[in-house]
Amino acid sequence: TKYYAASTQALQTILRGRVVTCKPVDRSHNRIVAQCSLGENRDLGSILVRTGWAFDLPNKSGGAHKQLEKQAQQDGRGIWRG
């Protein structure tokens, strides 16, 4: 996709030197859906949505990241740069 390289680089920067813990929570299109965190209480999904490198998926998150996505879009972060 258009933003693949940039979003991959952003994820690598966020994860560099950190321990990631993932907990499977669902399946979608024959893939595991997991909730991942960086250390204590640092939800990776929230970080990626807040920085504009991921979308909120309300059917998986219950809308937990909706406001973060809206703010990232308003601030022109990540994929929302235009």
| pLDDT of 48 | 94
| pLDDT of 40 | 78
| pLDDT of 28 | 87
**pLDDT tens readout for residues 33-82:** 899 999 878 999 999 999 999 999 898 888 999 999 999 999 999 999 97
Among residues 39, 78, 35, which one has the least CA distance to residue 55?
Answer: 78
Distance CA 52, CA 74 (A): 10
| pLDDT of 8 | 92
**Span 20-44, average pLDDT:** 90
| pLDDT of 77 | 96
Phi, psi of 53, rounded to the nearest 5 degrees: -105, 5
